[in-house]
Structure 1
Amino acid sequence: MGTVTSANIPTELPGWRHVYSGKVRDLFEPADGPDDRLLVVASDRVSAFDRELEPGIPGKGELLTQLSIWWFNRLTMIPHHLIVGDIPAEVAGRAMLTTKLDMYPIECVVRGYLTGSGWAEYRQSQSVCGVALPAGLVDGDRLPEPIYTPAYKAPLGAHDENISFERSVELVGADVAAALRDASLAIFTAASAIAEERGVILADTKFEFGAHPATGELTLGDEVLTSDSSRYWDAEAYHTAIIPRERMASFDKQIVRDWLAANWDGQGIPPELPVEIVERTAARYRELLARLVR
């Protein structure tokens, strides 16, 4: 099989050349012939606070891939990069064959609810990324309408930076910036309705887009609406929880974040995740997939 990365992702696949390893995904290009395709392989790696943790979450790569494919097949309002083709057996179930896009350096964040870094910023300025919000909101409140809060995708090793819409215009031009915003809000609205039908709240998410190399058309890329790129809450818990924080029980790695924040001071190598934390996190990933894909 060749060299193996963490979470059992091979770096050598017949007919493919390994070109990149990210926090979660590995990318491969065709070893020969046209290089207009990418094989995107999701690992079981898990990170928090910009640090990769051990061990990974068993089955996470397959769950993320299944969820992305499910959403790509339902988002008909914009072209996406997923294409049909043969997947190497070594990574079957955790890989997507895609068109290689000219990616824009913008992380397109849409927030339907106030929480996370948005809540921290709101407490300081009553706004999020320059978007003014009503007074009196608390952590977890639904916003009057979804807001678009882009971020600049920093080079590998640096932190992404929240930016204003005006700054996104400077980076990619007015037409592209507006198209990114409008597409992101349209997808979020459609996805939120689908999730709500299944008893799940889509609190916020991020999208990434690129230009199709042949047509220049705005195209949805990367992963989409997974539990790594999105914050999902249980709708029943949200509306019935007595303790405010419990209404935001999420279907992602928040269990990992909470444990790490309580057991690590941010210095040196993070501690190994306990078996119970790994198992609880894996169960939340599986539950979200079961809720949505039915």
Structure 2
Amino acid sequence: MTATPGQTPDPTPAPTADESLPGFTRVYSGKVRDLYEPVDPADATMLVVASDRVSAFDHALEPGIPGKGELLTTLSLWWFDQLRVPNHLVPDHRVDGSSRIPASVAGGSMLVKKLDMFPIECVVRGYLTGSGWKEYQATQTVCGLKLPAGLENGDRLPEPIYTPAYKAPMGEHDENINFEQTVELVGPVVAAELRDLSLAIFAQASHVAEGRGVILADTKFEFGADRESGVTTLADEVLTSDSSRYWDAEAWRTGTTPAERMASFDKQIVRDWLAANWEDDGVTPPPTLPSEIVERTALRYRELLERLTGDAA
């Protein structure tokens, strides 16, 4: 079972008491997030804590990005409020008005309901870039989907495409799959619903972002079934700088090179530096991020939040 917010993770590592989070027990620590369950077994919620840790190419990097956890959580909560779909958030206040989230992690945490998560990462791409661009150069396809000839790195696709991936067990890499394989995993009704929901949310989010001078190039969503109603529910983080590619719309319109066009508000700065300064040979650990890369990334995260929400971070 994949360790995903909203879902009870694998029993390994063993639950760990955490004195800084009274009333909760840590059940999983990932590259960038930690999951906690309430001590009360009757409480069907989970606490998702976003850290300042940063990862790229499936490796956790040092140092973290200051304030990253709070910035991404704030952005996720804002997007959940904008989108017109069921989500996994639950009220984080008690009857007396006090918060259920411990003060030490209040800014970077979400209290969510447990869901029966679908083992599919629902990726939507509106622009040609990243691994999609590499594949297109070789085969004129992205995840097996045929695209028109003559596209360039950073070009807008004729229409957004849905390119799901199978969420592999912990320690293994996710695997790109086609729609027919998602049908085999979750059945035809759920597979179609995941695809249609993903494309609809992407369209809505793209419209909102473009109105604020930002391009949503691609993103990924995760969904689960509500354990009481069975309703397909949006989970995990949503439309953050870690789960999405965001570009400056004006730079994309006027840029003459891929680097100029794809002025990003995400961790592409980290990816680019790491790709230029390290080769993953399976043995050599990734190098320490320079302070300049850390500071630039933090600034871009903050700028995206301010642009989208209108509030200074």
For the aligned pair, the TM-score class normalised by the smaller chain equals over 0.9
Letter in 1 for 2:217: A
CA distance in 2, matches of 1:14, 1:216: 31
CA distance in 2, matches of 1:19, 1:98: 15
- 1:166-220 deviations in whole A, cap 9, x for unaligned? 1111111111100000000000000000000000000000000000000110000
Match of 2:53 in 1: 45
Determine what percentage of the aligned residue pairs are the same residue. 73
Cα offset for 1:11? 4.1
Cα offset for 1:229? 0.2
1:139-158 mapped onto 2 (5 Å cutoff):
139-158=153-172
CA distance in 1, matches of 2:118, 2:145: 22
Per the alignment, in what secondary structure is the counterpart of residue 232 of structure 1?
Answer: strand
Match of 1:71 in 2: 79
1:10-21 mapped onto 2 (5 Å cutoff):
11-12=18-19, 13-21=21-29
CA distance in 1, matches of 2:62, 2:251: 30
Cα offset for 1:243? 2.4
Letter in 2 for 1:278: V
Cα offset for 1:261? 1.3
2:261 pairs with one of 235, 242, 247: 247
1:46-195 mapped onto 2 (5 Å cutoff):
46-76=54-84, 78-85=85-92, 86-195=100-209
Query: Which stretches in structure 2 are left out of the alignment for 5+ residues?
Result: 1-16, 93-99
Query: Which stretches in structure 1 are left out of the alignment for 5+ residues?
Result: 1-9
Match of 1:293 in 2: 309
> Does residue 28 of structure 1 match 2:36?
yes
Per the alignment, in what secondary structure is the counterpart of residue 107 of structure 2?
Answer: coil
Aligned length: 284
CA distance in 2, matches of 1:127, 1:58: 38
CA distance in 1, matches of 2:263, 2:116: 36
Cα offset for 1:244? 3.0
- 1:249-277 deviations in whole A, cap 9, x for unaligned? 11111111111111112241111111111
Match of 1:283 in 2: 299
Change over 3 Å in CA distance of 1:181–1:30 after alignment to 2: same
Whether the 8 Å contact between 2:89 and 2:110 is mirrored in structure 1 is yes
- 1:69-98 deviations in whole A, cap 9, x for unaligned? 00000101x200011112111101000011
> Does residue 223 of structure 1 match 2:237?
yes
Whether the 8 Å contact between 2:36 and 2:47 is mirrored in structure 1 is yes
- 1:28-82 deviations in whole A, cap 9, x for unaligned? 1110142410100000000111111100000000000000000000101x20001
Per the alignment, in what secondary structure is the counterpart of residue 84 of structure 1?
Answer: coil
Per the alignment, in what secondary structure is the counterpart of residue 60 of structure 2?
Answer: strand
> Does residue 198 of structure 1 match 2:212?
yes
Letter in 1 for 2:168: A
CA distance in 2, matches of 1:235, 1:11: 44
- 1:231-255 deviations in whole A, cap 9, x for unaligned? 0000000001122321011111111
CA distance in 1, matches of 2:110, 2:196: 26
Letter in 1 for 2:91: V
Whether the 8 Å contact between 2:18 and 2:24 is mirrored in structure 1 is no
CA distance in 2, matches of 1:35, 1:177: 30
Change over 3 Å in CA distance of 1:254–1:99 after alignment to 2: same
Per the alignment, in what secondary structure is the counterpart of residue 156 of structure 1?
Answer: coil
CA distance in 1, matches of 2:289, 2:108: 23
Letter in 2 for 1:286: R
Per the alignment, in what secondary structure is the counterpart of residue 18 of structure 1?
Answer: strand
Cα offset for 1:146? 0.5
